[in-house]
Amino acid sequence: MLGKLSLSALPLDQPIPLIAGAAVVVVLLGVIGWIVFAGHLPYLWKEWITSVDHKRIGVMYVVLGLVMLIRGFSDVVLMRSQQAVAYKSPGFLPPEHYDQIFTAHGTIMIFFGAMPFIIGLMNFVVPLQLGVRDVAFPTLNSVSFWLTATGALLVNMSLVIGEFARTGWWPSPPLSEVTYSPGVGVDYYLWAIQIAGIGTLMSGINLTTTILKMRAPGMSYLRMPMFCWTALASNLLIVAAFPILTATLAMLTLDRYLGFHFFTDERGGNSMMFMNLFWAWGHPEVYILALPGYGVFSEVISTFSSKPLFAYRSMVAATMAILVLSFMVWLHHFFTMGPGGDVNGIFGVTSMIIAVPTGVKVFDWMFTMYGGRVRFTTPMLWSLGFVVTFVVGGATGVLLAVPPADFVLHNSLFLVAHFHNVMVSAVIFAGFAGYGYWFPKAFGFKLHEGWGKAAFWFSVTGFVAVFAPLYVVGLLGMTRRMQHYDVPEWRPWVLAASAGVIVMAIGVVCQIVQLVVSIRRREELRDVTGDPWDGRSLEWATASPPPAFNFAVLPEVHGEEAYWGVKQAARDQRRLREEPSYEAVEMPLNSATGVICAFFATLVGFAMIWHIWWMAGLGLLGAFATFVIFAWRDRVEYEIPAETVARFDRANRATRAEALASLRRRAA
């Protein structure tokens, strides 16, 4: 009846996961109970859970990403404290538990921390920057989000029910085959990633279509803001690369469930094929995450330097070059696993070449700042911190691209330090820069600067303090994923890295305090005009927070910096544009399709993990029925009357006229 599921799946005999799991369950139930009893459920259901508004979905993606980043960080605290005490001793985490933690850390940080954070920013910002009212397929967008949330839920369920994979975040066969991993850990990994992966793929299709087909009148490709270009490249990569991951994991699933032999050791299976295919997705994935990050930095650096982006077209060319090159380097993840010198040589060279367009971008950012009036706000600090740390990470990357060097450094902590160095700075720093930069647009008030700067300095200091020692100890020969060690030379560096985690943790606390303080002081941090940073692209042309329809009248675009041109004209002529004639706006209706699909997807995933076949069938049937009901719906849109649109826009125009007048008074 319940497949492999029984009471023994609960960690009743292991105190650490039991207490951690119980605490999470209690907190979760408490939050849900508070929502229900305080009467917030109808609001949440109508305004957020069933919303198909790209802004709301974007915010929910970012919230999911932030929560999961903290979850992934708690794994870091466990791993670093284990290594701090496990010198010539077993430490406090047994190996089978330690292995689950580093696997969960990688899986969560990539798939459920970084991906939702970046996709959330793209979801929120891209339609606003393009000057349109929503993404191409609003309900599909909601389905994508909730499927991603399903994946995150399944990974977290493994904390309490059963176990997670012990294979590392790429579940390499034959270790991940049923012979060597008979438990449900790898199955949790597979189904969580597959379900979230469907969501990601649909999100990629959605945003690609939006960018290619739905720009404001006059916005040709070469007038799109840089963030839209990087989002386009990133989503094209999602569309091209995620099917590889899905197919590869499907083959591993067939191996595990139906006794196939794609990647097994016997009967013609080839485990290196898994490596090859996984990294054919894995390296583009790096750029799926990093490219939108580059876009965020381009926007932030240009805005806070009060200058147009330097060499915009070279930045576009560099982005598209990275898009293609990212599919030509994947072998460098397994230089040491068997290819000959000719293959290694060519992939080494392509890996070095991809540093060229990235270098072009770094110079473009520096020249954007050069001669500008740079305002050192929190998002700008994150960008500057990125440029410095990213160049270090990039340089060690070029070093690792030399195959002979890689033979020395492969799977050492030097490699771990390298990819954290580039990924954290290009993705997490970008995330926080974008979070601070677009927060006032999303909620109508700015984040507190003092706490933001504190968070930045503690995070960056902690980040350097963690990974600089790991470079050294990697050169001293320490490999990754060690549960305990007994080399005295490593000890001080490992302790230094653990101390760095404490500093980073203070940064995390500062981030949370910043949010709480900003919400409490939101009246004094209020963004009245909708343009708090003296911005240059179209998202700043509407109110903060934007109305459901984004723009009262779709903006006409006449140049590279659509909003800057309008603003300069207003300043020169000392008045706003003529009031447009307002028309009623049609917007898509809310839909519960996404969350209901995700409910059934959770059933399917959980049932497949525990071999509860009837429940899997039920879930599939339910998901299909949901789709059919959605496909046969009668009403698609609702109308916002012209008076409402006009009232909203006039209110915003009044604040802008006031801002213009005060600017003139100050100048006089």
Partner 1 sequence: MSDTVSQDEGGDQRRHADTAPGDEFGQEDIGAGLRGYSIGLGLAALLTVASFVVLRTQLVWAPAIPLALIVFAIAQMGVHLVFFLHITTGPDNTNNVMALAFGVLIVVLVVGGSVWIMGNMNRNMMPMGPTAPMESGMPGH
Contact residues for partner 1, defined by CB under 8 A = 52, 132-134, 136-140, 172, 175, 212-214, 216-218, 236, 240, 244, 270, 272-273, 275-277, 280, 324, 327-328, 330-331, 334, 336-340, 342-343, 411, 554, 585-588, 630, 636-637
- Whether the CB-CB separation of 582 and 481 falls below 8 Å is answered with no
DSSP string, 456-503: HHHHHHHHHHHHHHHHHHHHTTPBSS-S-B--TTTHHHHHHHHHHHHH
How far apart, in whole angstroms, are the C-alpha atoms of residue 196 and residue 149? Answer: 7
Which residue, 25 or 337, has its beta carbon nearer to partner 1? 337
Q: Which is nearer to partner 1, 70 or 240 (CB)?
A: 240
Nearer to partner 1, 612 or 623 (CB): 623
Q: How far is the CB of 637 from partner 1 (least distance, A)?
A: 7
Spatial CA neighbour of 398 closest among 428, 418, 420, 427: 418
Please, what is the minimum distance in Å from the beta carbon of residue 535 to partner 1?
23
List CB contacts of 490: < 8 A, sequence separation 6 or more.
Answer: 473, 476, 478
Nearer to partner 1, 158 or 344 (CB): 344
- For the CB of residue 13, give the shortest distance to partner 1 in the complex, in Å: 30
Closest to 418 measured CA to CA, from 400, 393, 399, 388: 393
Pick the closer one to partner 1 by CB: 203 or 425: 203
Shortest distance in whole angstroms from residue 471 CB to partner 1: 22
> What's the distance, CA 311 to chain centroid?
27
The one-character DSSP state at 109 is I
- Report, in Å, the least distance between residue 662 CB and partner 1: 33
Tokens for 542, please give them: 């509407």
Rounded Cα gap, residues 206 and 434, in angstroms:
21
Which of 551/610 has CB closer to partner 1?
Answer: 551
Cβ-based nearer residue to partner 1, 276 or 655: 276
The three-point CA angle 345-169-332 to 5° equals 5
The DSSP 8-state label assigned to residue 311 in this structure reads T
Evaluated on CA atoms 312, 313, 318, 324, the torsion sign reads positive
Taking the C-alpha atoms of 115, 116, 122 and 123 in order, what is their torsion angle to the nearest 10 degrees? Answer: 150
Give the type of residue at 424: V
Min dist. Cβ of residue 280 to partner 1 (A): 5
Measured CA to CA, the distance from residue 292 to residue 125 in angstroms comes to 11
In the complex, the smallest distance separating the C-beta of residue 411 from partner 1, rounded to whole angstroms, is 7
Nearer to partner 1, 209 or 314 (CB): 209
**H or E element, residue 639:** strand 637-640
Nearest distance from C-beta of residue 331 to partner 1, angstroms: 6
DSSP H/E element including 586: strand 585-588
Minimum distance of partner 1 from residue 50's CB (angstroms): 14
- Least distance to partner 1, CB of residue 328, Å: 6
Amino acid at 220: S
Pick 18 or 320: Cβ nearer partner 1: 320
Least distance from partner 1 to the Cβ atom of residue 342, Å: 7
What's the closest the beta carbon of residue 657 comes to partner 1, in angstroms?
Answer: 25
C-alpha distance from residue 666 to each of 178, 611, 652 (Å): 73, 71, 21
Write out the DSSP string of 317-367. HHHHHHHHHTTS-GGGGGGGGS--HHHHHHHHHHHHHTHHHHHHHHHHHHH
- CA 340, CA 408: separation in Å to the nearest integer? 16
Q: Which is nearer to partner 1, 434 or 474 (CB)?
A: 474
Question: Closest CB to partner 1 among 19 and 636?
Answer: 636
Map tokens 């996709």 to a residue: 119
Q: 218 vs 622, which CB is nearer to partner 1?
A: 218
CB 394 within 8 A of CB 459: no
Nearer to partner 1, 136 or 300 (CB): 136
Question: Could you tell me the smallest distance in angstroms from the CB atom of residue 464 to partner 1?
Answer: 29
Of 209 and 461, the one with the shorter C-beta distance to partner 1 is 209
In the complex, minimum distance from the CB of residue 572 to partner 1, in angstroms, rounded to a whole number:
26
Q: The tokens 């806070």 sit on which residue?
A: 304
Ramachandran region, residue 259 (left: φ > 0; alpha: ψ -120 to 50; beta: rest): left
CA dihedral angle for residue 221, residue 224, residue 227, residue 229, rounded to 10 degrees: 0
For the packed helices 271-304 and 355-369, what is the interaxial angle rounded to 10 degrees?
Answer: 10
Residue with tokens 């240059």: 536
**Min CB(55)–partner 1 separation in Å:** 14
Nearer to partner 1, 276 or 529 (CB): 276
**Which residues are CB-contacts of 211 (< 8 A; sequence separation ≥ 6)?**
126, 130, 224, 228, 231, 232, 235
Least distance (Å) from partner 1 to the CB of residue 554?
Answer: 5
Looking at the Cβ atoms of 294 and 330, the one nearer to partner 1 is 330
Nearest residue (CB) to partner 1, 335 versus 386: 335
Question: Is-contact 519 460, C-beta < 8 A?
Answer: no
Q: Closest distance between partner 1 and the C-beta of residue 347, in Å?
A: 9
Cα 157 from chain centre: 21
Closest among 577, 497, 585, 578 to 546, alpha carbons compared? 585
Nearest in space to 84 (alpha carbons), one of 494, 503, 502 = 494
